[in-house]
Amino acid sequence: MDRVSSFDEPLKKLLGGATAKVMAEHLDLHTVGDLLHHYPRRYEERGKLTALADLPLDEHVTVVAQVADARILMFNNGRGKRLEVTLTDGSGRLQLVFFGHGVHKPHKELLPGRQAMFAGKVSVFNRKMQLAHPTYQLLDASDADEATEAVDAFAGRLLPIYPACKQLDSWRIAKAVDAVLPSARDAVDPLPASLREGRGFTPLPEALLKVHRPQTKADIEDARARLKWDEAFVLQVALARRRYADTQLPAAARRPAADGLLDAFDAKLPFTLTEGQEKVSKEIFDDLATEHPMHRLLQGEVGSGKTMVALRAMLTVVDAGGQAAMLAPTEVLAQQHHRSITEMMGELAEGGMLGGSDRGTKVVLLTGSMGMAARRQALLDLVTGEAGIVIGTHALIEDKVQFHDLGLVVVDEQHRFGVEQRDALRSKGKQPPHLLVMTATPIPRTVAMTVFGDLETSVLDQLPAGRSPIASHVVPAKDKPHFLSRAWERVREEVENGHQAYVVCPRIGDDAEEAEGKGGKKTKAKKQAADEDPEKRPPLAVLEIADELRKGALAGLSVEVLHGRMHPDEKDDVMRRFAAGDVDVLVATTVIEVGVNVPNATAMVIMDADRFGVSQLHQLRGRVGRGSAPGLCLLVSEAHEASPARARLSAVAATLDGFELSRIDLEQRREGDVLGQAQSGVRSSLRMLTVIDDEEVIAAAREEAVAVVAADPELEHLPELRTVLAALLDKDREEYLDKG
């Protein structure tokens, strides 16, 4: 068997169909190589007990602990049996529960003093942590004759605890790893020999053996250091090659014209730019002036003035005879940008029109729902070059849309755009246009280096003067229902003081959504389960909550709804009336998450806040406090006080610093998977590296990667590195990085 193919061997050949099927479906492991790269999450020492006090709620865990006591309880007039086992480890206690016929075997085996490994999902019952029907494996036996295979396998060793699932426990994964471990000898080593020796790394086959079956803690450290480097280095080489390829592309240099459109715009600004805006604008202007396409990521807090910076870049390109296109993820946002940009530019946005400025240009909007006549005119303005700036949704990338000379593409909220879409827009220029990507989701430096590693990064971290502070509070609706009543009172108070409010829900709640999401009607059993356990109920919906508020807590106020499935004209009408102050309370989905700017809106209530991510909550909160009055954001949740979901909400309530929040978010999710499902739709490549802890490794790997690619762009002298890169960057992921 050659060196590559043993890693490509399907698992079912070695492990049997049933185990291989579970691994493929639940852990996304398909080949020997996949399983060898499925590293232990942590290690237990035989005889050393786990800290039961630190167990995370709602997660599937494996613990090593000792039985303190076990007793059978009868219920239902003696018809039902329940076995309760208490585990201890010195730090805390944990209860196990077995029901019905499942009590006999554990009752015989789980005797006080016995030590075992237990796996199950942590839940809370009667305010106590418990595992219901856990699987377990004894680690000791009361007499030598009973010694199980497990005792021999684990005696005196570090026990690897693998990321597992309900269908496959950690120790079964450990057995499967034993079966494929001999293949570790065939690992292809991606690190150039000089780098490996220079940094004193363990050879790769040895690192794989040490990570799965360490004899000592030093083995684990050695293996981890080596495997982290591999991941960081291979990924950074891929990104360095992308950046190198970009520097080989031609682009038209776009320099601002003296006394042109940009100067006229700056002269009429009613305020001065912040220091940060000046600095970032200079970085962008320097890039635009070169003959290679700019690829820059502009990240800035909600409301830090990114649109202003992007607009000045677009005006520069128009000055230089080109056109600029701004891509927004939704029609609501495209219309909002069009409105705010034409307002900022005034007569400069009416080039060629009566009353327009001589130095002006046309700013056109292009969305899928426009009427035929308006659309035809917009297309004509683009192809003739009459329109210097176009703002639109993905409708901009259709084949029919032709530009006179596309010089700059600005993409708003990058993570909402597909790879192919950005590429299609890029191909509309005579030469590749310059690219500016904007995001209001603050990204820690190391994540920017990995996820957006082929883009140069600019950061706007100052808020313009006049922005108000936002107070944020968690409202525990289940534990303290009167807090929720008080929340609606606060909304009413804001409205009585002449302000407006948002109420955000995770779901729309219309028939189309039900049919899409549930494959038809809900069963009676499901409904009953949802009533008994709020965790199982569907998320709260816009239409239902709006209805309840109109009839109850906010009766008498003007309450309107906004969601993605409304007709575009209807959406625009609601948004306009809200912006004009005719609507008191807007009940919406996350369509308001980015770009919606209503300075008079001061309060936001987020229902089922625990169902949103940290960065999404931060984005939503940024919609209030945009004027001179202070903002209020209330995070309503039924999550249990000790749950990770509540910890997340408390973190959001405690700080307004987006960079700090994105760090907390990563720490809580332990996100090693920066090229995961969310970004690329391709399997994750990062298993050992965590972008939050391994900043130094990533920075050092980036330097080495840049040097390697500069010396040998095609990697002709590094065939092993080429092989590993090809495996990592299958076609989809290469394309994702290409347009990232």
The lowest-confidence range among 198-212, 406-420, 537-551 is: 406-420
Question: 193, 201 in Cβ contact below 8 A?
Answer: no
| Choice between 431 and 462, residue whose per-residue pLDDT is larger | 431
- The residue count of the chain comes to 740
Tens digits of per-residue pLDDT, 153-187?
544 467 888 888 888 888 789 889 999 999 888 88
CA–CA distance from 212 to each of 181, 233, 317 (Å)? 8, 22, 56
CA dihedral 724, 725, 728, 732 (to 10 degrees): -150
| Choice between 621 and 529, residue whose per-residue pLDDT is larger | 621
323 CB burial (10 A radius; 0-12, 13-18, 19+): buried
The lowest-confidence range among 178-182, 398-402, 666-670 is: 666-670
Highest-confidence segment of 190-204, 588-602, 665-679: 190-204
Question: 645, 669 in Cβ contact below 8 A?
Answer: no
pLDDT at 726 over 50: yes
pLDDT at 734 over 60: no
- Check residue 163 and give its pLDDT: 84
- Check residue 428 and give its pLDDT: 81
- Residue 418's contacts (CB-CB under 8 Å, 6 or more residues apart) are none
The lowest-confidence range among 295-299, 505-509, 663-667, 709-713 is: 663-667
Question: 266, 277 in Cβ contact below 8 A?
Answer: no
DSSP conformation letters of 364-386:
EEE-TTS-HHHHHHHHHHHHHT-
Question: What is the share, in percent, of the chain residues with pLDDT greater than 90?
Answer: 31
* Amino acid identity for residue 60 in this structure: H
Alpha helix segments (H runs only) across 461-613: 481-496, 511-518, 524-532, 542-551, 568-580
pLDDT at 48 over 70: no
| Choice between 424 and 233, residue whose per-residue pLDDT is larger | 233
Highest-confidence segment of 120-124, 339-343, 515-519: 339-343
Tokens of 303: 């409301």
714 CB burial (10 A radius; 0-12, 13-18, 19+): exposed
**Mean pLDDT to the nearest integer, 595-605:** 86
| Choice between 506 and 681, residue whose per-residue pLDDT is larger | 506
The lowest-confidence range among 143-147, 610-614, 639-643, 716-720 is: 143-147
Beta bridge partners of 409: 325, 435
Query: Predicted confidence band at 418 (pLDDT cuts at 50, 70, 90)?
Result: low
Kindly report the average pLDDT of the chain as a whole number.
Answer: 81
Question: 407, 320 in Cβ contact below 8 A?
Answer: yes
pTM assigned to the model = 0.65
Question: 328, 397 in Cβ contact below 8 A?
Answer: no
pLDDT at 27 over 90: no
- Check residue 670 and give its pLDDT: 47
- Check residue 683 and give its pLDDT: 34
CB atoms within 10 A of CB 356: 16
**Mean pLDDT to the nearest integer, 505-529:** 59
Tokens of 399: 């084949």
Query: Predicted confidence band at 530 (pLDDT cuts at 50, 70, 90)?
Result: very low
- Residue 548's contacts (CB-CB under 8 Å, 6 or more residues apart) are none
- Check residue 736 and give its pLDDT: 46
Instruction: Identify which of 392, 255, 401, 356 has the alpha carbon closest to the alpha carbon of residue 315.
Output: 255
**Mean pLDDT to the nearest integer, 181-198:** 89
CB atoms within 10 A of CB 160: 22
Query: Predicted confidence band at 47 (pLDDT cuts at 50, 70, 90)?
Result: low
| Choice between 585 and 625, residue whose per-residue pLDDT is larger | 585
- Check residue 415 and give its pLDDT: 53
C-alpha atoms less than 13 angstroms from C-alpha of 575 in its C-beta half-sphere:
22
The lowest-confidence range among 112-116, 301-305, 408-412, 713-717 is: 301-305
pLDDT at 490 over 90: yes
Highest-confidence segment of 80-94, 217-231, 566-580: 217-231
Question: 335, 493 in Cβ contact below 8 A?
Answer: no
Whole-number Å distance between alpha carbons of 237 and 701: 8
The lowest-confidence range among 70-84, 199-213, 510-524 is: 510-524
